[in-house]
Structure 1
Amino acid sequence: MSDQSRGVLTALAAILILMPDTVLFRMVQSEIWVLMVWRAFYQGLVLWLWLCLTRRGALLIDMRELGWFGPAFAAAMGFAAICFNLAIAWTTVANTLFIVATTPLWAALLSRRWLGERLEPRVLATMAVCGIGIALIAVGKDPGGIAHWSGNLCALGGALGMAIGFTLARRAGDRSMIPGLAVATVLPLCFGAAMGGAVMPLPGDMPLLFVIGAVIAPLSFALLTTAARFIPSAQVSLMLLLETALAPILVWWIIGENPGQNALIGGGIVVIALLLSNLAALRRS
């Protein structure tokens, strides 16, 4: 199997695993703070166990080598996790995913500021078009009355948090950020606990929370990271748009959450702009 085929199949497997994530979020009946605590707990447990088993005595050395990048990365990704949880609770899944999909654009903007990388006209044009799409999403209303400006703002905060984390990871060079990702789970866990989420979930929610935190999150991340070794990052981003476009439809079909006309139009603008931008980047690479 060629590297291209291996990378595409690995990324596709990650997307198929990630697809049910938002559906399971909606099926959890416990309040958002309980979901936040248990999702972070299971995700952190899996990451720490994996690090301890694979790195053993070298884990402390790995964490020291990260320097200030480690805590900064953990803070950014922990903040993004909190925002994502709140966005799913306070607005529609479609709004959340469409807004979070703009993360690479914010990362490009930060890379210009922090890494001195040239900001291509393609990225600026994509940001302008995506801004129109996000504006349509922000002013739209869904038939179920779920969408709220606070959730849309949290989704934007999640995108910015991940963009900061990805930019820091690039600046850190070859140093692995997985220890930082494990530390990042402490932030949503503590925040959720402080808000009253440190209790047992409602009956029937524990299996869902386990799948969300212990299976979907770490496995999809591991597969996407592996895929990026075989195919260009633009192609990985291109394939991730499948999840952005299809997950809201899956939630609509299974849960009955209608995102509303404005969200569909605005989300379509965002997805098409990112699609064309990534295709252009992929063609150049």
Structure 2
Amino acid sequence: MQSTDRQHRAGIALVIAAAIAWSTAPFFTRLLHFDSWTILFWRGVFGGSFIALLLIFTQGLNGARNLIAMKPSGWLVASLSTLGMVSYIPSLQLTSVANVAIIIAVQPFAAAAIAWVWLREAAAARTMWASLVALAGIVVIVSGAGGVGDYRGIGLALLMVIAISLMTVVIRKHRETPMVAAASLSNFLGSLVSIPFAQSIGAVSSHDLVILAMFGLLQVGLGLTLFTLGSRFLPSGQSSLVATLETPLMPFWVFVAFHEVPSLRALIGGALVMGAVIADIAADNRARSAAGLHDEAAI
């Protein structure tokens, strides 16, 4: 029981760290002035290389074998992750950020629904209520945004949500599969897919390469690795919910770097999202502690 609790707490900490890493995307995007496919290419090269080197450094020859001899479940995770990555930035270009953000907010519901159908993994009622609060918070954040959504952009955003939700459930189902290797592969696949569409692969300066390297190492490589590891120890719906911390953290980095003061909507919505996540984690910890005391009393 104690071992399970430790794994659960570690899973929450890893997914929170992944959300923090992912939330830096607007910061790096602001620093770059290239088409989305060029950014995806270089970000994938650096992110995939970082994960591969980390895997080999920590696991040696076994890590190298995992990269070369990928299992079918690993290829599935890599493919789903790649699909999510290459859908995200184009969706932002084709429709409003508000549309994409609201669609992304339904990911916990999508992951929980897929897990229920596939794994018969019922989400706790408190997690579903917390997901509703988090969704309300994100709606508040984007409620001030305007613009007419383009159906292609909305479709790509929905495709991304479905892909990442499926990836989360697959990770949960196949815990024994070397998923960190799959995360590395997904970045390289993303770069490969981007080549036919990228317009400025060879036009980046050395300064741009440094920014792209940081983008790939921190936001993609570290974020995806942490989420991949953390998702093994959490229910699919909860891991997706904790990852929504990414949304309210995004304006924070922009404020620090570019002195853009978040709107009142962003502050209120961010408080709702963070409050929902903290409440869900606290309630889950109380339930687990109560269960542990009950088991000890029974012994």
Do they fold alike, i.e. is TM over 0.5?
A: yes
Aligned partner of 1:162: which letter? I
Q: 1:147 to 1:160 in 2, by over 3 A?
A: same
Aligned partner of 1:212: which letter? F
Q: CA deviation at 1:162?
A: 1.6
Mapping of 1:45-124 within 5 angstroms?
A: 45-59=49-63, 62=66, 67-90=71-94, 96=100, 99-124=103-128
Which residue is 1:21 aligned to?
Answer: 25
Mapping of 1:1-285 within 5 angstroms?
A: 17-59=21-63, 62=66, 67-90=71-94, 96=100, 99-126=103-130, 141-142=145-146, 150-151=152-153, 153-197=155-199, 199-203=201-205, 204-223=207-226, 240-251=243-254, 254=257, 273-274=276-277, 276-285=279-288
SS state at 1:194 partner? coil
Aligned partner of 1:248: which letter? P
Q: 1:252 to 1:162 in 2, by over 3 A?
A: same
Q: CA deviation at 1:215?
A: 3.5
Q: Which of 1 and 2 has greater Rg?
A: 2
SS state at 1:42 partner? helix
Q: 1:128 to 1:13 in 2, by over 3 A?
A: closer
Aligned partner of 1:28: which letter? L
How far apart, CA to CA, are the structure 2 residues paired with 1:125 and 1:73?
28
How far apart, CA to CA, are the structure 2 residues paired with 1:7 and 1:180?
18
SS state at 1:196 partner? coil
Q: 1:94 to 1:259 in 2, by over 3 A?
A: farther
Q: CA deviation at 1:247?
A: 1.3
Q: Is the 8 A contact 1:78 1:185 kept in 2?
A: yes
Q: Which moved more, 1:116-125 or 1:86-95?
A: 86-95
Q: Which moved more, 1:222-231 or 1:174-183?
A: 222-231
How far apart, CA to CA, are the structure 2 residues paired with 1:116 and 1:6?
24
SS state at 1:182 partner? helix
Q: What's the TM-score once normalised by structure 1's chain length? A: 0.72
Which residue is 2:295 aligned to?
Answer: none
SS state at 2:121 partner? coil
- After superposition, the CA RMSD in angstroms is 4.5
Q: 1:220 to 1:152 in 2, by over 3 A?
A: same
Identity of aligned residues (%): 24
Aligned partner of 2:116: which letter? R
Q: Which moved more, 1:124-133 or 1:77-86?
A: 124-133
Could you list the runs of 5+ residues in structure 1 that have no partner in the other structure? Answer: none
Matched residue count:
282
Q: What's the TM-score once normalised by structure 2's chain length? A: 0.69
How far apart, CA to CA, are the structure 1 residues paired with 2:159 and 2:211?
25
How far apart, CA to CA, are the structure 2 residues paired with 1:184 and 1:26?
24
Q: CA deviation at 1:158?
A: 2.5
